[in-house]
Amino acid sequence: MKDVTDMEPTVSALVGRNIADVERELILQTLRHCGGNRSAAAAMLGISVRTMRNKLRSFVADGMAVPPSPGGSFPREIAAPA
């Protein structure tokens, strides 16, 4: 079992932050960790690929930079509007 005190520095960095901001940062960092692989990132986070796609779509709509997929570009349904 993991000692809770090991997690304290990480958690304390989140105190005072908005849940939506923390969720967005977790998703984007996990996506970067997975080299842009949406399926792998979704599995690691325990969410569906559809939820991942919807979250990324909302991030793009909010003007956030989203790491490209391994194919090198955004899928059409996620790409920022022209």
Q: pLDDT tens across 7-48, in order? A: 556 788 888 999 999 999 999 999 999 999 999 999 999 999
Mean pLDDT of 57-79: 75
Angle between helices 38-45 and 49-61 (to 10 degrees): 110
Residue 20 or 4, more confident: 20
Give just the sign of the alpha carbon dihedral 36, 51, 59, 72: positive
